[in-house]
Amino acid sequence: MYGGYKRILKIDLTNETVKSELTDLLFARKFLGGNGFGVKLLYDTVTAETDPLGEDNALVIVVGPANGTIFPGAAITGIMTKSPLNGLFIDSYMGGHFGTELKSAGYDAVVITGKLKNPKFLVIENQSINFYDAEDLWGLETSKTQIKIKEKLRNPEFQVACIGPAGENLVKYASVICDTRAWGRGGIGAVFGAKNLKAIAVRGDGDIEIADPDGFLKFTTESLEIMKKHPALGKAIPSMGSTGSIDGNNSIGILGTRNWQRETFENAWKISGNAMLEQNLRIGHKACSSCIARSAIFWKARCGEYAGIVSRGPEYETLYAYGSILENDNPDSIIAADRLSDELGIDTMSTGVVIAWVMECFEKGILTAKDIDGLDVVFGNHKIILDMIRKIAKREGIGDILAEGVKVASERIGKGSNEFAIHVKGLELAGHTARGLKGMGLGYAVSSRGGSHQDTRPGAERSGKLDRAVIEGKPEHVIKNQRMTTIGDSLILCRRHAEPFFGEYLSEKYVELINLLTGFNLDLDELNMIADRIYTLERMFNCREGITRKDDILPPRFMKEPIPDGPSKGMFMRPEELDMMLDEYYSLRGWDIKTGIPPQEKLIELDLV
Amino acid sequence: MKKILVDSEKCSGCRICESVCSYHKLGNKFNRKKAAIKIVVEGELGENNTPVICRHCKKAKCSEACPVEAFYQDEKTGALVIDQNKCIGCGLCAEACPFGAIYLHEELSIPLKCDLCGGEPLCVKYCVPTAITYEDEQRLGALRREKGVQ
Ligand code: SF4
Ligand code: SF4
């Protein structure tokens, strides 16, 4: 089948049984792949009663029609589950080479349910699926785990996605690491841990066929030339990854600082990509499958107690999470924290937001030194970051509460600390402002994932293409932008390649690429419909869990406190502004304005019932 | 004769080279396991990538090992290539190559080895960081020398 569609694999860990079925072409046309396949398979497998850390939760791993080809950025592998962090839908995407191997093994999706009796790792090699004992790997960090598994299997071609101690200890925002890439958000690693699943190793030998090979090669070669000349993709990203955004965001006053008490950081330049390059911290870089951006940069810490530590990253989000939001201007400490987080298998964004919240609790006297195990958790003190990460990953002392995420932690600690707990629907916020970019603010509020920057993107407003201070037109922008991210995640494409080339919205170019790969002969209307079908199904998943309009809000800080200083001084999201945008957003989406729930007629229109 | 020059430091491990090679060799299908170039990844974090591709040796171990004399030199490019009709698929050549630059795959009856694509190697064309280039033989080693002199 074209587009590489082959089979869907179902694995039951409890009985260690396996089933596989051919991918139905009608299903493929309706949901496209990646994000679409994942949400449909997950929606049908779990229920509102499913405990995210219980046996009945499912992990759905997906690839799409672009994987395994040479389209630049066709590298991503998605995973979907019911999030242990907030009990809602979560999809997480990683780069690297896992997806190419999985697709070469002949699978479009893998649905994993049940629970292993004791720690094991799963091996998918073409049609053979095996379980291996992992007692001796339990407790190991992620790089060692991968090396050991490749040795055991006597083949370095395997791609190994594994958890570290954080996942084993059911930290609610534990990640899964493959290579140096992560399924970072929403606690995928804890679901692995709860299932006693230490790792999944995959390798495949099969061919990948596409519908129109000549057309595809021409389209790809031309796209490649355009991407190579793009200033960000062709030049800035290969030299410093996404670290340039630190300067960019700071210069317009939208860089989360001091737990978002401010959005300007005087010392931001010290942790910017340029400064890190000047200090010769870059020692090499690496690409994902078919990637031309090679944004995975190896940085090496040079000074102080961190000297010699190498990490792949930090990228922008981690520089925010362990840097500006903690008012930390020491790049070496961020490199070390990034590496430690990957080794322990924990999401850098959530961890940083949690630590920032503790710092503010300490500053306000809500927590005392005794509560924080004697650590001096004050803004600007980089010396405690590694200790805090270890405590959380091991659930030691204060780490045990913090491992639940900032929402639960602030509810348990109380004393008004939820006023500055920075999350949306329980997912800690990424490094993009909800006050200084009105569309992004709406995007966070309605994001299926919660505080993620991947459903709605900040690019158009940040670059000045759209006026960031106005609310007019933003609901429409957000929807069109979400259609693009949804299809990108279904294909599956890297945003860094797709955005510079295709732009912020779906277009005929997307239609052309999909048709060349799959032979579906879609038009733009049908593609928009597919995007709406997938996003609405995500919404239904969340509505089934009880989410309604009242949950589509921002952290109190963003709706009450104007940005106090800097170039964006005075900006914030007035509740009435958000309300107006929500009205328009729901009505454009065809969802019920009062409740935010998609009504029956919309579901029929989208062929979802 | 022109040869493929490898600069491992520039290689990002994107594996586009493997993919285009297979696309060309298999007739419009992608399969990295059926490519005549392979990227070997090493290091604790997988930070070192080395493209492994045939050197087209003057006194080639592969052809010496071949029991049926299936190897011959392409006149136009000087590439050392395998005659499909003569090759018996024993794989001795793959074992003999000091670089491991010949690859076998279950589904293929003869080993995969670089044939320089008739003088326009596709892997080189698609390598964005220019980790592999196609240059005159006397340029071999020149990169090292030039870097060393500086
Ligand atoms: S295309 Fe170039 S950079 Fe990419 S893996 Fe091959 S040799 Fe390395
Ligand atoms: S296959 Fe190996 S031995 Fe034969 S010519 Fe190429 S590099 Fe030399």
Q: Read out DSSP for A336-394?
A: HHHHHHHHHTB-HHHHHHHHHHHHHHHHTTSS-TTTTTT----TT-GGGHHHHHHHHHH
Chain B touched by A383 (CB under 8 Å)? no
Is A419 found in the same domain as A440? no
Tell me which of B8, B10, B14 to substitute to probe the interface with A (most A C-beta atoms closer than 10 Å).
Answer: B14
Enumerate residues 6+ apart whose C-beta is below 8 A from A139.
A165, A168
pLDDT per residue as tens digits for the range A41-88:
999 999 999 999 999 999 999 999 999 999 999 999 999 999 999 999
Give B-chain residues touching A149 at CB under 8 angstroms: none
Is A377 found in the same domain as A423? yes
Is A457 found in the same domain as A365? no
- CA distance between the termini of chain B: 28
pLDDT per residue as tens digits for the range B36-50:
999 999 988 988 999
A410 has pLDDT over 90: yes
A515 has pLDDT over 80: yes
- pLDDT band for A115, please (50, 70, 90 cuts): very high
- Closest Cα to atom 5, ligand 2: which residue? B56
Q: Output the pLDDT for position A239.
A: 80
Q: Name the helix (H) or strand (E) containing B133.
A: strand B132-136
A161 has pLDDT over 90: yes
Q: Is residue A268 part of a domain?
A: yes
Is A198 found in the same domain as A284? no
Q: Output the pLDDT for position A276.
A: 87
Q: Output the pLDDT for position A238.
A: 82
Q: Output the pLDDT for position B144.
A: 77
Average pLDDT over residues A425-454: 95
A192 has pLDDT over 70: yes
Average pLDDT over residues A477-488: 97
A89 contacts A52 by C-beta, under 8 angstroms: no
Ligand minimally distant from the alpha carbon of residue B95: 2
pLDDT per residue as tens digits for the range A270-306:
999 888 888 878 888 889 999 998 877 899 999 889 9
A536 contacts A589 by C-beta, under 8 angstroms: yes
Which residue in B13, B20, B40 is closest to A287 by CB distance? B13
Q: Output the pLDDT for position A27.
A: 97
Q: Output the pLDDT for position A495.
A: 87
Chain A touched by B29 (CB under 8 Å)? yes
- Per the CB < 8 Å rule, is B15 touching A100? yes
Ligand minimally distant from the alpha carbon of residue B96: 2
Give B-chain residues touching A340 at CB under 8 angstroms: none
pLDDT per residue as tens digits for the range B7-56:
999 999 999 999 999 998 888 899 999 999 999 999 889 889 999 999 99
Is A194 found in the same domain as A95? yes
Chain B touched by A70 (CB under 8 Å)? yes
pLDDT per residue as tens digits for the range A256-266:
999 999 999 99
Q: Is residue A228 part of a domain?
A: no
B150 has pLDDT over 70: no
B12 contacts B53 by C-beta, under 8 angstroms: no
Q: Is residue A225 part of a domain?
A: no
pLDDT per residue as tens digits for the range A369-383:
999 999 999 999 999
Is A392 found in the same domain as A443? no
Q: Is residue A17 part of a domain?
A: yes
Is A165 found in the same domain as A41? yes
Q: Output the pLDDT for position B26.
A: 81
Six token digits for residue A370: 């005794």
Give whole-number Cα distances, A166 to A175, A384, A388, in Å: 8, 18, 13
- In chain B, where the domains are located: 2-55+100-149
Is A599 found in the same domain as A573? yes
For chain B, what is the mean pLDDT?
93
B148 has pLDDT over 80: no
| Ligand 1 site residues, Cβ closer than 6 angstroms | B 11-17, 39, 49, 51, 127, 129, 131-132
Q: Output the pLDDT for position A459.
A: 87
Q: Which domain holds residue A307?
A: 241-427
Is A403 found in the same domain as A261? yes
Q: Express as a percent the part of chain A with pLDDT over 70.
A: 100
A100-104, A152-156, A495-499, A565-569: segment of lowest average pLDDT: A495-499
Closest CA to A65 of A56, A55, A78: A78
Q: Output the pLDDT for position B10.
A: 92
Compute the distance between CA of residue A320 and CA of residue A327 in angstroms, rounded to an integer: 9
Q: Is residue A509 part of a domain?
A: no
Q: Output the pLDDT for position B143.
A: 75
Average pLDDT over residues A521-536: 98
Is A256 found in the same domain as A154? no
Give B-chain residues touching A292 at CB under 8 angstroms: 14, 16, 128
For chain A, what is the mean pLDDT?
95
| Ligand 2 site residues, Cβ closer than 6 angstroms | B 54-57, 60-62, 80, 97, 99, 101-102, 113
Q: Express as a percent the part of chain A with pLDDT over 90.
A: 88
Is A97 found in the same domain as A191? yes
A507 has pLDDT over 90: yes
- d(CA B31, ligand 1 centre) in Å: 15
Ligand minimally distant from the alpha carbon of residue B103: 2
Q: Output the pLDDT for position B146.
A: 79
Q: Is residue A336 part of a domain?
A: yes
Q: Output the pLDDT for position B131.
A: 95
Q: Output the pLDDT for position A25.
A: 94
Please count the residue pairs, one from chain A and one from chain B, whose beta carbons lie less than 8 angstroms apart. 88
ipTM entry: 0.94
Compute the distance between CA of residue A105 and CA of residue A207 in angstroms, rounded to an integer: 9
pLDDT per residue as tens digits for the range A311-346:
998 989 999 999 999 999 999 999 999 999 999 999
Q: Output the pLDDT for position A196.
A: 98
Which residue in A68, A286, A289 is closest to B47 by CB distance? A286
* Total count of domains within chain A: 3
Q: What does DSSP say about strands A176-178 and A159-162: parallel, antiparallel, or unpaired? A: antiparallel
Is A367 found in the same domain as A311? yes
Q: Output the pLDDT for position B102.
A: 97
Q: Is residue A189 part of a domain?
A: yes
